Amino acid sequence: MANLTSKLDAIFNPKSIAVVGASTKPGTVGNDLLANLVAPKDGKPFVGEVYPINPKADEIFGKKVYKTVGDVPENIDLAVLCLNAKFVLDTVEQCKAKGIKGLVIISAGFKESGKEGAELEKQLTEKVCSAGIPLIGPNCLGVINPYGNMNASFAAKSALKGRLGFVSQSGAFCTSVLDYAESRQIGFSKFVSFGNKADVSEIDLLEYLADDPETKAIAFYLESIGNAKQFIEAASKTFWEKGKPILCIKSGRSAEGAKAVSSHTGSLAGGDAEYQAIFKQSGVQRVDTISELFDLAAFYTTQPLPKGPRLAIITNAGGPGIMATDAAIAAGLKLARLEETTEQKLKENPLIPEAAALHNPVDVIGDAHSDRYQIATEIVMSDPNVDLGVIVLTPQSMTDSDNCGKILPDVIKKIGKPVVGAFMGVKQVADGVKNLIDQGVPNYAFPEDAVKSLAAAVKLVEMKSQTDREYVEYQDVDAEAAKKVIDGYLSDSPEKYLTQAEARPLFEAYKLPLLKSGVAKSADEAAEIVSGIGSKVVMKVMSADVKHKFDAGGVLLNVEGADGARKGYDQIYANIAKNVPGANIDSILIEQMALEGDEVIVGCNRGGLGPLMMFGLGGTFVELFKDVQFRLAPMWKTTAEEMVRSIKSFKKLDGFRGTPKRDVAAIIDVILRTSAMVVNHPEIAEFDVNPLIVHAEGKGASVADSRVMLRKK
């Protein structure tokens, strides 16, 4: 829908709302939703006009009730529908005739209920799209805008006002989130349950919140993503251009739903690999729990981002200080080395006792009052070697935690560095924690949680530095030649498995680094090919029935000369007959031996969200070690670079302990070329290049083995 983002203002900032299905009966959705707008239990009523719609009532909550939206004499910006699904289509027609600008449909009974509901939802989508009316829902909790006192939902409570935009595909999840967020004094700019996303999707809401001045950070609970490429583009723009952090809980991590496939890529890509790739490519930080989500949200909506990883810890207890230190190192932070002048200032200050530990972590000891915390924070956090900090407080009998919570936020704001609290305990520190949070300093129940949030912020900054988001366009590829190859193989079959020899012309069209080779169907042909190559060769069986050629004895290395070729040819046939009885052998591929190097794998498996590229440690042990990374194609060059550097064994490629550095640039080139290949040719269902042998830096790489599965679209 064109200009959908601007049209969403009718939903989030309406001047008037009609509640269609408003009920006189307490405890019903129609009654609770109307109450949240006109007579909320925990806040002020909606600032605009509210029109209850019910053909059988005259007055609800002191408001005049209208039989239809058409009976309302004034204009209506937003209609919220909470009535039986079978009445929804007619009601939407009435809203269209009335000129209503936005819809929120709470009603269930659509695609989540089965085939008939899915057809009803399809008609609903067609109706609102043709009318140009944005729709959130159906089957949702509703929307909340705390800045307009608008709670157009049937949640038991409203949302506190804050800077976090929250979007959830699950309505039930939203209710628990609201309750939990209130307990942590975390507020929202917008709070949205979008249900079945018949029209307005997570992408539309992301684009809206990216431009929303009241939103500083965005959080999602998602069960699915409709369009991976659009989501990546919207999220990356929100993060890299608008500077807004994005957090996401995505359910469904298990691999039980993964399809059985023939490629290594497919077997290693669990059901969650596509989503993990999307988040990594788009700058989204994925979290596992509600607690973790709000730990990070509390930081991102209140504190500046850190300029580095150097952490300072101020504590009144040695044990928690050590715990914070251990957590910091484990999370990848560095313990800041305080300058001598900083330690001297601490030593000379009369408020700091001789027993205090002046090295980081700085222990101001158990009898510290707020004045000692204040001066220690001013001195330590002003050190130029400190990028960020955590203030740990345990409630001793003399600790004035409430006053610490009052005075420390001003100190922190003046310094201008990200600092968080870890006031440990519950009742004894409650007033101090409230004072901290009220003045924009997040607090964490334990030092480990505080440090994890700081570490996540550092990682966010590192991601943000990756600003080169350009696609590489290769001018030397021949997509037309590749298309002819694919069309030829699929001319009389819906799918075709390509051996390495058969895939060669496809790879040649995309200029992959191929070795000299030939295909033999007799021992004499093998001898002739080896003589022509003029060096040691590898001989490999070409058979769709032999998946693991090396294990089956279908690969012979360092074969030399015509006699060696003849013997090798016969040996491979004998090995396959013994190890894979009944296998159909197409031919024997003879290929020059590659230069020395490390074995990696590049592959692709086409899932529901698009072509999923894989890179990792290759060879025969790829499925054992599973040292792989996934990203969706197409991808930016920086994405390919990050993909390569993210495997655990990258140090081996980068010259570990004096071993030669490998040609990482050549790996990236292969990833980008094959990424373009699978995007241009959707008939490529799967492929593996395994191994891709990576030579010394500057010497390139060689495709040593491959497989491709083509499938008609």
Residue 573 lies inside a defined structural domain of this protein = yes
CATH number, domain with residue 569? 3.30.1490.20
Q: In the chain, count of helices (H) and strands (E)?
A: 25, 30
The mean pLDDT value for 88-92 works out to: 97
The yes-or-no verdict on residue 40 having pLDDT over 50 is yes
Query: Could you tell me if 450 and 325 are in contact, meaning their C-beta atoms sit under 8 angstroms apart?
Result: no
Residue 258 Ramachandran class (φ > 0 left, ψ -120 to 50 alpha, else beta): beta
Report the pLDDT value the prediction gives residue 268, as an integer from 0 to 100: 52
Q: Is residue 135 located within the same domain as residue 86?
A: yes
Alpha-carbon separation of residue 7 from 135, 168, 186, 204, 321 (angstroms):
10, 20, 28, 10, 51
Considering the domain boundaries, does residue 486 fall inside one? no
Rounded to an integer, the average pLDDT of 308-313 is 98
Query: What phi and psi, each to the nearest 5 degrees, are found at residue 458?
Result: -65, -45
Highest mean pLDDT among 154-158, 383-387, 592-596: 383-387
- Residue 508 falls within a domain, yes or no? no
Looking at residue 270, what is its pLDDT? 52
Quick one: how far is CA 651 from the chain centroid?
A: 25
- Whether 172 shows a pLDDT value over 90: the answer reads no
Number of independent structural domains in the chain: 4
Q: Given the structure tokens 């999370």, which residue do they identify?
A: 331
- Asked if residue 445 and residue 358 are part of one domain, the reply reads yes
CA dihedral 292, 296, 301, 302 (to 10 degrees): 110
From the number of C-beta atoms within 10 Å of its C-beta (0-12, 13-18, 19+), residue 290 rates as middle
The answer on 615 and 558 residing in a single domain is: no
Q: Which residue in the block uniquely carries the two structure tokens 């699950």?
A: 170
Judge whether 237 lies within some domain: no
Query: In this structure, are 570 and 611 located in the same domain?
Result: no
Residue 270 in any domain: the answer is: no
Distance CA 570, CA 556 (A): 11
- Shared-domain flag, residues 571 and 611: no
CA nearest to 410, candidates 364, 374, 371, 447 = 374
Q: Give the C-alpha separation, 615 to 596, whole Å.
A: 20
- The Cα–Cα gap between 611 and 588 comes to 30
Query: Do 174 and 138 sit in the same domain of this protein?
Result: yes
CA 227 to chain centre: 14
Q: What is the pLDDT of residue 257?
A: 37
pLDDT reading at 656 higher than 90: no
pLDDT interval class at 607 (50, 70, 90): confident
Other C-beta atoms within 10 Å of 363: how many? 23
Residue pair 371/392 in contact by the 8 Å Cβ criterion = no
Same domain, 547 and 614: no
Backbone region of residue 368 per phi and psi (left: phi > 0; alpha: psi in -120 to 50; beta: other values): beta
Domain end residue (candidates: 215, 230, 260): 215
Average of pLDDT values for 559-578? 96
Categorize the per-residue pLDDT at 254 as very low, low, confident or very high, splitting at 50, 70 and 90.
low
Please tell me the number of Cα atoms within 13 Å of 210 on its side-chain side: 21
The residue-averaged pLDDT of 532-542 equals 92
| Residue 500 maps to a domain | no
User: Does position 581 have pLDDT exceeding 90, yes or no?
Assistant: yes
186 with 74, same domain? yes
Amino acid 277: pLDDT: 93
Is 695's pLDDT higher than 70?
yes
**Mean pLDDT calculated for residue range 90-109:** 97
Q: What is the pLDDT of residue 173?
A: 85
560 phi and psi angles, rounded to 5 deg: -135, 135
Report whether 18 contacts 72 (CB < 8 A): yes
Q: Of the candidates 187, 215, 243, which is a domain's last residue?
A: 215
Query: Sign (positive/negative) of CA torsion 113, 116, 122, 126?
Result: negative
The percentage of residues in the chain with a pLDDT greater than 70, rounded to a whole number, is 96
Residue 267 placed within a domain: no
Q: How far apart are CA 228 and CA 170, in angstroms?
A: 20
| Closest to 707 measured CA to CA, from 547, 518, 501, 498 | 498
What single-letter amino acid sits at 323? M
Report the candidate in 373, 420, 376, 362 with the shortest Cα–Cα distance to residue 396.
373
Encoded tokens for 338:
């305080």
The amino acid at 341: T
CA dihedral sign of residues 36, 37, 38, 42: positive
Euclidean distance between CA atoms 108 and 86, whole angstroms: 10
DSSP conformation letters of 224-237: --S-HHHHHHHHHI
Q: What is the CATH number of the domain that holds 677?
A: 3.30.470.20
Q: Is the bond preceding 320 in cis, omega lying within 30 degrees of 0?
A: no
State yes or no: pLDDT of 679 exceeds 70.
yes
Cα angle 156, 121, 88 (rounded to 5 degrees) comes to 65
Q: Compute the average pLDDT of residues 118-126.
A: 96
**How confident is the model at residue 260, as a pLDDT?**
34
Digit-coded pLDDT (tens) for 192-224: 999 999 999 999 999 999 999 999 999 999 988
Tokens representing 703 are 């495709």
Determine which helix (DSSP H) or strand (DSSP E) holds 640, and give its type and residue range: helix 637-645
| Contact status, residue 188 vs residue 161, Cβ threshold 8 Å | yes
Query: Is residue 379 within 8 Å of residue 341, measured between CB atoms?
Result: no
30 and 173 share one domain: yes
Average pLDDT over residues 23-34: 96
Q: What percent of the chain has pLDDT over 90?
A: 85
Q: For the chain, give the longest Cα–Cα distance.
A: 100
| Distance separating alpha carbons of residues 279 and 342, to the nearest angstrom | 41
Give the pLDDT band of residue 5 (cuts 50, 70, 90): low
Question: The domain containing residue 130 runs over which residues?
Answer: 4-215
For 10-22, write each residue's pLDDT tens digit.
999 999 999 999 9
Average pLDDT over residues 349-355: 96
- Distance from the first to the final alpha carbon of the chain: 27
Count CA atoms closer than 13 A to 608's CA, side-chain side: 11
- Residues 431, 62: Cα–Cα separation, whole Å: 39
Q: CATH number, domain at 329? A: 3.40.50.261
Last residue of a domain, one of 215, 231, 258: 215
- Summarize pLDDT for 422-449 with one digit per residue, the tens: 999 999 999 999 999 999 999 999 999 9
Q: What is the mean pLDDT of residues 289-318?
A: 96
CA distance 356 to 359: 9
| Residue 155 belongs to domain with CATH number | 3.40.50.720
Average pLDDT over residues 343-358: 96
Q: pLDDT-based confidence at 1, cuts 50/70/90?
A: very low
pLDDT at 624 over 80: no
Which residues, in sequence order, are bridge partners of residue 53?
20, 66
Please report whether residue 506 resides in a domain: no
Residue 107 tokens, joined: 């009603």
623 in the same domain as 588: no
Task: Flag the least confident range among 30-34, 268-272, 288-292.
Answer: 268-272
Give residue 262's pLDDT: 42
- CA–CA distances in Å: residue 48 to residues 77, 642, 662: 10, 49, 65
Could you report the per-residue pLDDT of 387-407, keeping only the tens digit for each?
999 999 999 989 999 999 999
Evaluate if residue 557 carries a pLDDT over 90.
yes
In terms of domains, do 652 and 557 share one? no
Chain mean pLDDT for the chain:
93
Instruction: Read off the pLDDT band of 258 (50, 70, 90).
Output: very low
Q: Is 453 found in the same domain as 331? A: yes
Contact by Cβ (8 Å): 157, 101: no
Q: Give me 640's structure tokens.
A: 């390919």
The reply to whether omega before 691 is within 30° of 0 (cis) is yes
- Asked if pLDDT for residue 261 goes beyond 70, the answer is no
